[in-house]
């Protein structure tokens, strides 16, 4: 439900802002006929956006279509700026042309926003079945709410901009500049993807930065909206501006008061919608869209014999017990223990917290289910400890005197299943000096083990004869090798 609302808000907020300001900049009063024409044009543009997205997705040309649409949208932004400049030039003359151009810009932006909403929600199911159900109704309500809020916001922006034309023009220029930059970066990305532009590191870096910040155009639009509201508030008419009753008459004063009251209502309505949208976007980005987090892992420190011992009694209650071991080169190796049956039939599954297929996102326990975070599959708990499917990778271990015994050697072998590296003190194998692994200037992978060096010399020396310095290291396992058993 909230997915649809946030997608609509993010895609349509810039369009609502720019359209609202353009409406306010149009010379003369807004006529009813203009509003009706604009509504039809926007509705048609939304329909076209729907059809175009459908065709593009069906034919697998989404990237091309998006690139073309972005170019058209940038043209529309330029059109909007031209209109803003023209306003100061020609006052009431050629009003019709100004209105038609504004409607054109609004239609293009709405068309693009529709395309964005559809491509942003393509992987979500609007409803699981064609029969009317709660999810379908809730999602439809979210879409309807989004449409109402965006329409209302356009009207609010138009009303406020009329009072503070200079600020509104400034906001329009700022919005157009920022949007043109992000969309330009997306055009560039499309061109890179389609092979029209040569890939260089400068271009990739620009595209990466622009698209990273481009994801927050919704917040940008809300900030500009707030700016507009502040300007509107500062320019508010006072209900009692010191004029005496004698000089101005009571009727005149009451009219003023009514006007001031009306303006305050516009402001309050805008603030209410703006706050609601901000809260919705923040809730989605900071909470609802985040993946589940792993429970805390207990530190597993091997004893003098080089083994980790875990008493079976402490892990037999059916919960998932996660541990983390820090490998010699700083890899954080997570593994977990879980009783596969009940407390009367204790069979402990001992596995790495990683999947051969999905990688090291890990597993969480939700009720009785053990779930792979990456692919959301429910793992059949009695099968934990067996290889295959999306099961966690089995970890070799032994049982001894009521303890599960895991050799540190085994955990070292699985270090490459994990990508998380923590800062630890390591030793340069050539010089024997200590250094911090993450700050080491040189590193070299030998049999999957990473060695760190303080200088070019020791790096070269090691590279020439790794066996001499590395000592007896065991090769590490990689996920691409698939399941490996000893012997």
Partner 1 sequence: MYLRMIRQSFFEGRKRKALAAITVALAAALITTLLNLSVDVGDKMAKEMKAYGSNIRVVPKSENIPLKIGGVDFNPLKGRDYLDEAELTKIKDIFWSNNIVGLAPFLDVPVEIAGKDAGRVSLIGTYFRKSMPLPSDEEYRTGVRITHPYWQVTGAWPDDESASEVLIGRSLARRLGVAAGDTIGVTRPTEGSGGSAEASYRITGILATGEAEDNAIVAPLGAVQALAGLQGKVQSVSVSALTIPENELSRKAIRDQDSLSTSEYDVWYCSAFVSSIAHQIEEAVINASARPVWQVAAGEGVVIGKLQVLMLVVTLAAFASAAMGVSSLMNTAVMERAREIGLMKALGAAEWQIHLLFLTEAVIIGVVGGILGFLAGSGLSQAVGWAVFGSSLAFHWIAVPVVIAVSVATALAGSILPARSITRLMPVEVLYGR
> Under the rule (CB under 8 A), what is the footprint of partner 1?
60, 122-123, 125, 127-138, 141, 357, 369, 375-380, 383, 386, 388-391
- Shortest Å distance, C-beta 272 to partner 1: 18
- Shortest Å distance, C-beta 390 to partner 1: 7
- Shortest Å distance, C-beta 81 to partner 1: 34
From the list 483, 446, 239, 232, the residue with the least C-alpha distance to 352 is 483
Say if strands 403-407 and 307-311 run parallel, antiparallel, or are unpaired: antiparallel
- Shortest Å distance, C-beta 370 to partner 1: 10
Show the DSSP H helices in 215-360 as ranges: 217-234, 245-248, 250-283
Strand partners, 405: 309, 398
- Shortest Å distance, C-beta 384 to partner 1: 8
- Shortest Å distance, C-beta 383 to partner 1: 4
Is the CB of 220 or the CB of 394 nearer to partner 1?
394
- Shortest Å distance, C-beta 478 to partner 1: 18
Helix (H) or strand (E) holding 481: none
Is the CB of 3 or the CB of 421 nearer to partner 1?
3
Is the CB of 25 or the CB of 118 nearer to partner 1?
118
What token pair was written down for 164?
């503070």
What token pair was written down for 213?
């910040």
Is the CB of 140 or the CB of 455 nearer to partner 1?
140
What size, in residues, is the chain? Answer: 487
Q: How far apart are CA 326 and CA 280, in angstroms?
A: 40
Helix (H, G, I), strand (E, B) or coil at 307: strand
- Shortest Å distance, C-beta 102 to partner 1: 24
Is the CB of 218 or the CB of 394 nearer to partner 1?
394
Q: Apex CA 396: angle with CA 309 and CA 449, to 5°?
A: 95
Which DSSP string do the residues of 394-459 spell out, in sequence order?
A: E---EEETTEEEEEHHHHHHTGGG---B---EEE-TTT--EEEGGG-SEEEEETTEEEEESSHHHH
Q: How far apart are CA 349 and CA 341, in angstroms?
A: 10
- Shortest Å distance, C-beta 11 to partner 1: 20
- Shortest Å distance, C-beta 300 to partner 1: 25
- Shortest Å distance, C-beta 120 to partner 1: 14
What token pair was written down for 192?
């890179």
Is the CB of 60 or the CB of 195 nearer to partner 1?
60
Is the CB of 383 or the CB of 427 nearer to partner 1?
383
Is the CB of 90 or the CB of 357 nearer to partner 1?
357
Say what the alpha-carbon torsion angle 305, 310, 313, 319 is, to the nearest 10 degrees.
-170
Is the CB of 59 or the CB of 205 nearer to partner 1?
59
Q: Is 433 in contact with 455 (CB distance < 8 Å)?
A: no
What token pair was written down for 397?
């271990």
Is the CB of 303 or the CB of 368 nearer to partner 1?
368
Residues in CB range of 469: below 8 A, 6 or more apart: 429, 430, 451, 461, 462
Is the CB of 76 or the CB of 158 nearer to partner 1?
158
Q: How far apart are CA 385 and CA 376, in angstroms?
A: 19
- Shortest Å distance, C-beta 296 to partner 1: 25
Is the CB of 289 or the CB of 456 nearer to partner 1?
289
What is the layout of strands, in order, in the sheet containing 369-372? Answer: 363-366, 369-372, 378-379
Residues in CB range of 204: below 8 A, 6 or more apart: 192
Q: Is 338 in contact with 381 (CB distance < 8 Å)?
A: yes
- Shortest Å distance, C-beta 160 to partner 1: 19
Say if strands 425-427 and 434-436 run parallel, antiparallel, or are unpaired: antiparallel
Q: How far apart are CA 112 and CA 106, in angstroms?
A: 10
Is the CB of 90 or the CB of 375 nearer to partner 1?
375
Instruction: Provide the CB-side half-sphere exposure for 409 (13 A, CA).
Output: 12
């Amino acid at each position: 439900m909230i997915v649809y609302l946030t997608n609509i808000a993010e895609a349509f907020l810039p369009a609502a802002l720019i359209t609202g300001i353009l409406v306010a900049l149009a010379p003369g009063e807004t006529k009813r006929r203009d509003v009706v024409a604009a509504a039809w044009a926007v509705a048609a543009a939304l329909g076209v956006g729907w059809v175009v997205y459908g065709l593009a997705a069906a034919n697998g040309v989404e990237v091309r279509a998006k690139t073309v649409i972005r170019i058209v949208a940038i043209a529309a932004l330029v059109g909007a700026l031209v209109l803003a400049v023209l306003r100061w030039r020609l006052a009431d003359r050629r009003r019709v042309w100004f209105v038609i151009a504004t409607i054109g810009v609004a239609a293009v932006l709405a068309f693009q926003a529709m395309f964005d909403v559809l491509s942003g929600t393509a992987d979500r199911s609007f409803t699981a079945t064609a029969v009317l159900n709660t999810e379908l109704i809730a999602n439809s309500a979210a879409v309807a709410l989004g449409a109402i809020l965006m329409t209302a916001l356009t009207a609010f922006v138009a009303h406020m901009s009329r009072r503070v034309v200079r600020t509104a023009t400034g906001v329009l220029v700022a919005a157009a500049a920022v949007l043109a930059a992000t969309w330009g970066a997306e055009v560039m990305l499309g061109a890179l993807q389609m092979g029209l532009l040569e890939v260089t590191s400068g271009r990739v870096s620009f595209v990466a930065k622009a698209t990273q910040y481009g994801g927050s155009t919704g917040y940008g639009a809300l900030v500009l909206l707030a700016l507009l509201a502040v300007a509107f508030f500062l320019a508010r008419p006072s209900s009692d501006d010191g004029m005496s009753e004698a000089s101005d008459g009571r009727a005149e004063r009451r009219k003023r008061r009514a006007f001031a009251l009306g303006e305050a209502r516009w402001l309050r309505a805008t603030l209410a919608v703006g706050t609601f949208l901000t809260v919705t976007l923040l809730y989605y980005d900071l909470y609802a869209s985040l993946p589940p987090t792993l429970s805390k892992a207990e530190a597993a420190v091997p004893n003098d014999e080089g083994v980790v011992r875990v008493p079976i009694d402490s892990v037999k209650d059916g919960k998932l017990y996660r541990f983390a071991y820090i490998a010699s080169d700083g890899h954080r190796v997570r593994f977990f223990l879980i009783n596969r049956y009940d407390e009367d039939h204790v069979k402990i599954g001992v596995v790495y917290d990683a999947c051969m297929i999905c990688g090291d996102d890990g597993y969480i326990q939700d009720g009785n289910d053990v779930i792979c975070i990456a692919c959301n599959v429910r793992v059949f708990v009695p099968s934990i400890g067996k290889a295959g499917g999306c099961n966690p990778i089995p970890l070799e271990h032994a049982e001894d005197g009521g303890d599960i015994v895991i050799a540190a050697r085994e955990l070292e072998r699985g270090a490459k299943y994990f990508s998380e590296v923590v800062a630890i003190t390591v030793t340069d194998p050539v010089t024997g000096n200590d250094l911090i692994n993450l700050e080491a200037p040189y590193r070299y992978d030998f049999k999957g083990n990473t060695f760190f060096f303080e200088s070019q010399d020791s790096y070269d020396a090691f590279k020439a004869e790794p066996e001499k310095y590395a000592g007896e290291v065991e090769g590490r396992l990689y996920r691409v090798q698939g399941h490996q058993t000893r012997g």
